[in-house]
């Protein structure tokens, strides 16, 4: 049985994940290269513009440097999760294209979808491919039929 649908959905989802991975990686690396004091000054200016009731003392009590570090850490965690998702989706596409173990490929598609996000297009494609892997049955070839049944079918065919 051809698993072209699962392979196509897996490849499209993987390509979308790679594009998103590149965008997130470039964003995180460019933000890491900027001087934290410059970012902190820009954030303070924006807070003062949007909330005029905030005083300099309030800004001094806020730890904006910690917020910047947390944002950078979250960005790198996203990069790592997307990288793992891309690797798992490639493995799943290879497994389903050889039609060796579509159930394992379905599980890998689900895990890749969970790691790449919830409401993005790539995970939705991975979930659809996983459902197709679980639902579609592979056809049984003649050499996999029980030998006893084979003899019974041959004897009835010879009598006709």
The model's pLDDT over 7-43, given as tens digits with 9 standing for 90+, comes to 999 999 999 999 999 999 999 998 877 777 777 788 8
Q: How big, in percent rounded to 5, are the helix, strand and coil portions of the chain?
A: 80, 0, 20
Close Cβ partners of 130 (under 8 Å, ≥ 6 residues apart): 105, 106, 107, 109, 110, 113
Q: What distances in angstroms separate CA 103 from CA 71, 93, 145, 150, one per listed residue?
A: 37, 12, 21, 28
Contact assessment for residue 116 and residue 44, using Cβ atoms and an 8 Å cutoff: no
What values do phi and psi take at 138, rounded to 5?
-85, 145
Mean pLDDT of the 96-104 span: 86
pLDDT of 98: 81
Percent of the chain past pLDDT 90, that is, above it, reads 39
Residue-averaged pLDDT of the chain: 82
Percent of the chain past pLDDT 70, that is, above it, reads 84
* pLDDT > 70? residue 61: yes
How would you class 54 by CB atoms within 10 Å of its CB: exposed for 0-12, middle for 13-18, buried for 19 or more?
middle
3-state secondary structure of 98: coil
pLDDT of 84: 95
Q: How many CA atoms lie within 13 A of 56 on its CB side?
A: 0
CA–CA dist 69, 61 (Å, integer):
17
């Amino acid at each position: 049985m051809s698993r072209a649908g699962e392979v196509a959905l897996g490849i499209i989802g993987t390509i979308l994940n790679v594009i998103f991975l590149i965008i997130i990686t470039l964003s995180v690396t460019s933000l890491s290269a900027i001087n934290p004091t410059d970012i902190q000054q820009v954030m303070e200016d924006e807070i003062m513009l949007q909330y005029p009731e905030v005083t300099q003392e309030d800004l001094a009590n806020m730890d904006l440097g910690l917020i910047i570090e947390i944002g950078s850490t979250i960005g790198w965690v996203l990069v790592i999760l997307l990288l793992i998702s891309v690797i798992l989706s490639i493995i799943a596409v290879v497994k389903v294209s050889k039609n060796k173990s579509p159930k394992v490929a379905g599980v890998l598609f689900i895990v890749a979808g969970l790691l790449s996000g919830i409401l993005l297009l790539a995970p939705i494609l991975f979930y659809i491919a996983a459902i197709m892997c679980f639902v579609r049955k592979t056809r049984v070839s003649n050499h996999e039929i029980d030998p006893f049944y084979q003899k019974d079918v041959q004897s009835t065919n010879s009598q006709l």
